[in-house]
């Protein structure tokens, strides 16, 4: 398909000398215009036993070491999560939250929800001014932006219930990285420099990351984080209670009291991670295992797949204007539903069965034209109840037995709210921005929310994180996830489609150019590389508005080859992550 379409595009370029001819040709190629693959990094990483893919090489190495020392996929995932809190401070965290989807070799499937929760002092209008308008940045910067962190409790719960090793063994690599330091990479040096002004607002954060002369580290410098090492050691020795009830809780409460934040010791001690049943869907013979609310990711992914399964996407071509149009039309409807129907299930009755119902997907699909864009003005959230019955990070792990973990974790924005807990060495999240501060007002990702996702004490804010495992014939086939705010869902969707419909190997599936639609704003976002002008023009001829911009997502995916059992891993060429296996 790629070669054939390239020839068509060359002919098109040569012949398009007049406007009339151009329009005729545009109509002809509209159905077959296909994007060039991004400068593909090509082949996946291969290994026979276990594999770990994460945003940072030190963290992947930590996970690999735990696998080689007899830990299972959950032990390794928890080792990676704690290591990322040291080596990838923009998103790896102790002060944030996340989700883990687990599929054990014996077929058991579960999820751990360690999403942050609003403190008891949170109020529905806390981000509004006296005129009822959202106050710029109040949910993003400063102490009110933080929800009660869930990562430490969630990872410890997953490890205790499903791991094999003592928590201290699993945390040892992270402690060593914080205590002994590690070499700052180009990516980390760049990232810290770009966050310099945010981090400068917190004395503890500025001190933790600056060199003795006050400048930010250069690539090759050694970054030692003594306070963080002490915090990690306390957790390893005493378990999560050290963080939620003990000395670390005291430091968090003191930080909040000093800066005017809301999180108290009572909030910390009340925080409980939840084990939840996964969202289950099916797509062209694959079982889809993904994250339930308070993430919207699993439901939205399955809704999208339910709608798209009825279209012969493979015949329409990878990233052809026709395929992109259909995915965008499905996404427009699914994100409209997200705005209305998704929120913390402990506070809002999410119509899960209706949203996942195939009859509901058929109803949504019936409104999609194969040749014309719908206007988002004309798309409103549906009625599923009648069918009832810049910064996050993802890592994937498979062990020698075939157990698998897909985990996505976040502080929300890069480096969260920029506030470091003094004496504890970790940053706090700005996840409160994932609530809808005011119904109909977009958050940082331009996502609209309503009543279901209003701020409420103890409530968990809606997420788009979509850690997902695909199963074929009872065996794990693909472990996948990504950062990217609202774009996480469509990023994961496209990797799944690339593997299942377009038969790509896992690295090609991750490399391929991405696009995104989220209902509002009514625009298809296309990555700058990989979508030729005629594909964009063909989409516009169908009535879409397009916007060509920056890269989307950072996928770390592992596939298990059906025939050989080989682990095939892919880290995203858009960033500097690393997949390692043995």
| Interacting residue ranges for ligand GLY, rule: CB under 6 A | 392, 410, 412, 431, 434, 463-465, 485
| Closer to ligand GLY by Cβ: residue 50 or 96 | 96
Say whether 381 sits in a helix, a strand or coil.
coil
- Tokens, residue 441: 């007002």
Sign of CA dihedral 355, 359, 364, 369: positive
| Closer to ligand GLY by Cβ: residue 463 or 579 | 463
Asked if omega into 521 is within 30° of 0 (cis), the reply is yes
CB of 251 to ligand GLY, least distance (A): 24
| Closer to ligand GLY by Cβ: residue 141 or 538 | 141
Is 392 noted as a catalytic residue in this protein?
A: yes
CB of 575 to ligand GLY, least distance (A): 17
> CB-side exposure of 198: number of CA atoms within 13 Å?
23
Question: Helix 226-238 vs helix 247-259: angle between axes, to the nearest 10 degrees?
Answer: 130
* From 231, 392, 468, 491, active-site residue: 392
CB of 239 to ligand GLY, least distance (A): 26
CB of 235 to ligand GLY, least distance (A): 23
Say whether 281 sits in a helix, a strand or coil.
strand
Closest CA to 280 of 385, 356, 359, 344: 356
Taking CB atoms, the residue at the shortest distance from ligand GLY is 463
**Phi, psi dihedral angles at 349 (to 5 degrees):** -80, 90
CB of 349 to ligand GLY, least distance (A): 21
Q: Which residues pair with 468 in a beta bridge?
A: 290, 480
CB of 529 to ligand GLY, least distance (A): 25
| Closer to ligand GLY by Cβ: residue 239 or 442 | 442
CB of 485 to ligand GLY, least distance (A): 5
**Phi, psi dihedral angles at 564 (to 5 degrees):** -105, -15
Say whether 441 sits in a helix, a strand or coil.
coil
Closest CA to 510 of 408, 561, 579: 579
CB of 416 to ligand GLY, least distance (A): 10
| Closer to ligand GLY by Cβ: residue 202 or 453 | 453
CB of 344 to ligand GLY, least distance (A): 12
Give the separation between CA 437 and CA 447, rounded to whole angstroms.
Answer: 11
**What DSSP state is assigned to residue 146?**
P
CB of 143 to ligand GLY, least distance (A): 18
**Phi, psi dihedral angles at 124 (to 5 degrees):** -60, -30
Sign of CA dihedral 467, 401, 167, 57: negative
Cα 440 to Cα 125, 135, 423, 434: the distances in Å are 14, 15, 39, 13
Contact 93, 83 (CB under 8 A): no
Closest CA to 513 of 370, 524, 30: 524
| Residues listed for the chain | 582
CB of 436 to ligand GLY, least distance (A): 13
| Closer to ligand GLY by Cβ: residue 185 or 464 | 464
Contact 484, 553 (CB under 8 A): yes
> CB-side exposure of 360: number of CA atoms within 13 Å?
25
Asked if omega into 531 is within 30° of 0 (cis), the reply is no
User: Measured over all CA atoms, what is the biggest interatomic distance in the chain, rounded to whole angstroms?
Assistant: 74
**N- to C-terminal Cα separation, the chain:** 35
Closest CA to 321 of 3, 9, 7: 9
Give the separation between CA 420 and CA 423, rounded to whole angstroms.
Answer: 9
The region that residue 521 occupies, defined by phi over 0 for left and psi between -120 and 50 for alpha, beta otherwise, is: beta
Residue 285's CB is within 10 A of a number of other CB atoms, namely 8
Strand 515-516 versus strand 182-183 pairing type:
unpaired
Using a 10 angstrom Cβ sphere, with 0-12 exposed, 13-18 middle and 19 or more buried, the burial of residue 263 is buried
Active site residues: 392
């Amino acid at each position: 398909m790629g070669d054939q379409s390239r020839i068509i595009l060359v002919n098109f370029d040569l012949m398009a000398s007049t406007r009339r001819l151009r329009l005729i040709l545009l109509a002809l190629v509209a159905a077959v215009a296909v994007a060039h693959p991004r400068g593909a990094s090509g082949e996946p990483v291969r290994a026979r036993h276990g594999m770990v893919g994460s945003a940072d090489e030190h963290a992947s190495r930590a996970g690999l070491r735990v696998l080689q020392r007899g830990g299972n996929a959950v032990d390794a995932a928890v080792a990676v999560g704690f290591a990322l809190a040291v080596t990838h401070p923009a998103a790896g965290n102790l002060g944030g939250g996340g989700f883990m989807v687990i599929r054990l070799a014996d077929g058991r499937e579960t999820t751990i929800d360690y999403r942050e929760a609003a403190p008891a002092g949170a109020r529905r209008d806390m981000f509004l001014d006296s005129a009822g308008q959202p106050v710029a940045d109040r949910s993003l910067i400063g102490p009110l932006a933080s929800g009660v962190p869930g990562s430490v409790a969630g990872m410890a719960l997953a490890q205790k219930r499903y791991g094999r090793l003592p928590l201290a063994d699993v945390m040892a690599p992270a402690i060593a990285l914080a205590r002994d330091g590690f070499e700052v990479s180009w990516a980390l040096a760049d990232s810290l420099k770009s966050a310099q002004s945010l981090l400068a607002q917190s004395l503890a954060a500025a001190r933790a990351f600056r060199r003795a002369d006050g400048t930010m580290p250069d690539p090759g410098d050694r970054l030692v984080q003594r306070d963080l090492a002490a915090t990690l050691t306390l957790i390893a020795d005493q378990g999560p209670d050290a963080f939620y009830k003990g000395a670390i809780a005291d430091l968090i409460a003191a930080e909040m009291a000093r800066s005017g934040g809301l999180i108290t010791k009572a909030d910390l001690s009340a925080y409980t991670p939840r084990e939840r049943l996964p969202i289950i869907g099916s797509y062209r013979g694959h079982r889809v295992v993904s994250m339930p609310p308070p993430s919207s990711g699993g439901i939205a992914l399955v809704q999208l797949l339910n709608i798209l399964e009825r279209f012969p996407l493979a015949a329409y071509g990878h990233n052809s204007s026709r395929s992109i149009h259909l995915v965008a039309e499905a996404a427009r409807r699914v994100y409209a539903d997200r705005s209305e129907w998704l929120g913390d299930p402990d506070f809002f009755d999410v119509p899960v069965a209706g949203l996942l119902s195939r009859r509901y997907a058929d109803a949504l699909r019936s409104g999609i034209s194969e040749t014309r864009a719908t206007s988002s003005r004309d798309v409103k959230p549906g009625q599923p109840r009648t069918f009832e019955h810049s910064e996050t990070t993802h890592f994937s792990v498979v062990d020698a037995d075939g157990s698998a973990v897909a985990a996505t974790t976040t502080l929300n924005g890069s480096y969260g709210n920029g506030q470091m807990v003094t004496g504890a060495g970790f940053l706090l999240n700005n996840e409160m921005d994932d609530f809808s501060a005011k119904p109909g007002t977009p958050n940082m990702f331009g996502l609209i929310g309503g009543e279901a996702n209003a701020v409420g004490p103890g409530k968990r804010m809606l997420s788009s994180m979509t850690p997902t495992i695909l199963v074929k014939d009872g065996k794990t086939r693909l472990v996948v996830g990504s950062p990217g705010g609202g774009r996480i869902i469509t990023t994961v969707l496209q990797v799944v489609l690339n593997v299942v419909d377009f038969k790509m190997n896992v690295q090609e599936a991750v490399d391929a150019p991405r696009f995104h639609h989220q209902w509002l704003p009514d625009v298809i976002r296309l990555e700058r590389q990989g979508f030729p002008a005629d594909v964009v023009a063909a989409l516009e001829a169908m009535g879409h508005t397009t916007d060509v911009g920056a890269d989307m997502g950072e996928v770390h995916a592992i596939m298990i080859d059906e025939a050989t059992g080989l682990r095939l891993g892919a880290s995203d060429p858009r960033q500097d992550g690393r997949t390692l296996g043995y």
